[in-house]
Structure 1
Amino acid sequence: MTAHQPPPDATTVRQPPPELSDDLARHVKAWRLRLNPDEIPGLHAERPRTRRNRRVSKETVAALTSYSVGWYSALERGVLQNYSDDFLTRVAYTLRLNEAEKSMLFFLATGHALTITVHQSRMRSTPTIQRIVDAQPWPAYVNDEAWDLIAHNEHMSKWFPWVEAHENNIMRWVFTFPEARTQLHRWDTDWGPQMFAQMQFAHARQPENKRLADLIEEILDVNPDARLFQQQPITYPHPDGDHRYLHLPLHKRLQPIELIAFAPMRAQASRMMMLVPIERDEVKKPQ
């Protein structure tokens, strides 16, 4: 009988090298290097830009996606591995990819297109609704009862680039995208608590809405501040008439706004929201 060979020493075991895609590496790096930091809300507010730091680093891109530097660095090196749709969608938004570039990213990284999940809503976009939104001279949008976007105008796209096929839910952006914490000035006091309370009020009003329940559960799972807001609840049904501040792309100063909300009779849990710029001397003082 032939004796069994001893198992190889653990130190001699070699993992196969990862499969690499030069095309993926070239595209992702080129997309990062073309970024203008001033187009990313909040970056210019955190520190002054100098000629040496005009480029957005890999670390910054990773932080803005809420994934680790390791995951993003692997993507930029062209490593082919099991990237999630959520990760690639956040990368596409952070790198400011257009629709064709986003498709290219998915094909190069995964070999397939983005999987799109369609949620049934009581509110539907119509040509008339879109015309009403487009006619507004300031950012305007319509969201359904679970804060999925139904319609938005070009002004909204300029202030919030994520609405262009990168994220379709207002609350998911507010609570899971790190950029929201800088774009929404005083996020932890003036935006986060109120918007989480809006979801809680809506859920109490429509407990049968599974889409909304799943959204709240997802946010609570990933956002510790949301869990704190849940433990210290406030009652806040809507933001109509609120005055708040925003950091905007290519703007060096904070922009004060008034939030205006309307509810359509056909779906009264939905909202048409307008973000109306106001002057600083119009901002209401806290009571």
Structure 2
Amino acid sequence: MHIDPAAHGLLPGATGQGRLPQGLSQAQVDQLLHRAFGTYGRLESGRYPSPPDDLLEGVARLFHFTEEEWKILWRYAVTTDPPYPLHPHSGKEIAAVWQEAIDGIGHMAYVNNQSWDVLAHNESWVRMFPRREAPPNTMRWMLLAPEARHILIDWETSWVPLVIPQLRSALAALPNDEVLLKIERDILADPVVGPLFEATPDQFLHPDGDERPLHHPELGRGWVSVAASEPLSSPRARLIILLFRTEQTRPRLRPPLTRPSPLSPASDQVHT
């Protein structure tokens, strides 16, 4: 993004080497970030090993980076993903187009935020609940709703040991999230879930690719395969798609999808 120097009370930068086209010069970036001369030039050219977090954040905020641009900056400068989102609303909201996109998915689908609050869902997912009422928070429903212990087959052995580590991981990353803290307090006060929470070992298990037993109120007993992803504009939000199959239609274990290498023997075959 081109930044007008005048917006910061600066004159246009000099032309020549180091000039940012139609925007700030490298020297002006240093001035605005209160850095020594040449700091931004070293960062931009890749000659700044292990730049500090506050420098990267200053650059991102100066140039009004999106979350995806913030991630690219970290990967370029530090070769890791950023340890925290750039914007305070990230993880709490998603673009409005997601509701229309989810409505077009035939399988059960929903999006929740970093606290597992439901932001959007389709009608197929609502049918999973006996009263066709979507729960406001999926983490709270899975661990604390009495009906979940009947819908989620083998709740104590097939669901709880996989869900609790996700909550623990989120609490470690978001220690001040009031929604998550309230869920944790309610879990510890629950005579059934509390001991399970204490006994479950610390490990992170994402749900993508999982297959778990489920009793669908309308379709009967079966299995859901979980496809999970993260909207690029909202880190820690999650798109969850649940593919329900009965015992009769449950597929066998399938290999991961991959594109054959151009050098593999299969790629040399000519199909007629």
Q: TM-score, length-normalised on structure 2?
A: 0.55
The correspondence of residues 185-204 of structure 1 with structure 2, limited to 5 A, is 185-204=153-172
Aligned to 1:267, the other structure's residue is in SS state coil
Aligned to 1:261, the other structure's residue is in SS state strand
How many residue pairs match? The answer is 163
Q: 1-side partners of 2:132 and 2:183: how far apart?
A: 18
Letter in 1 for 2:162: Q
* Segments ≥4 residues shifted beyond 4 Å: none
Cα gap change, 1:161 to 1:265, in 2 (>3 Å): farther
Whether 2:239 is the aligned partner of 1:269: answer no
Cα gap change, 1:162 to 1:202, in 2 (>3 Å): farther
Aligned to 2:236, the other structure's residue is in SS state coil
Find the counterpart in structure 1 of residue 214 from structure 2.
246
Offset of 1:161 from its aligned partner?
4.8
Find the counterpart in structure 1 of residue 104 from structure 2.
135
Q: 1-side partners of 2:253 and 2:142: how far apart?
A: 23
Letter in 1 for 2:183: L
Q: 2-side partners of 1:163 and 1:226: how far apart?
A: 28
Find the counterpart in structure 2 of residue 158 from structure 1.
127
Find the counterpart in structure 2 of residue 168 from structure 1.
136
1:125·1:151 contact (CA, 8 Å) conserved in 2?
no
Aligned to 1:265, the other structure's residue is in SS state coil
The structure whose residues are more often helix, as a share, is 1
Aligned to 2:228, the other structure's residue is in SS state strand
The correspondence of residues 23-172 of structure 1 with structure 2, limited to 5 A, is 122-161=91-130, 164=133, 167-172=135-140
Cα gap change, 1:243 to 1:152, in 2 (>3 Å): same
Letter in 2 for 1:150: L
Structure 2: 5+ residue runs without aligned partners?
1-88, 255-272
Q: 1-side partners of 2:185 and 2:218: how far apart?
A: 34
Find the counterpart in structure 2 of residue 26 from structure 1.
none
Q: 2-side partners of 1:163 and 1:147: how far apart?
A: 19
The correspondence of residues 225-236 of structure 1 with structure 2, limited to 5 A, is 225-236=193-204
Alignment counterpart, residue 250 of structure 2, candidates 280, 283, 286 = 280
1:263·1:272 contact (CA, 8 Å) conserved in 2?
yes
Offset of 1:126 from its aligned partner?
4.2
Offset of 1:204 from its aligned partner?
1.1
CA deviations over 1:121-164 (Å, ceiling 9, x no partner) = 84325430101111111000000111111000000111125663
Q: 1-side partners of 2:194 and 2:210: how far apart?
A: 21
Q: 2-side partners of 1:134 and 1:229: how far apart?
A: 35
Q: 2-side partners of 1:266 and 1:161: how far apart?
A: 33
The correspondence of residues 217-232 of structure 1 with structure 2, limited to 5 A, is 217-232=185-200
Structure 1: 5+ residue runs without aligned partners?
1-119
Find the counterpart in structure 2 of residue 214 from structure 1.
182
Root-mean-square deviation (Å): 2.2
> Which protein is bigger by CA-based radius of gyration?
2
Bigger RCO (CA 8 Å, 6+ sep)? 1
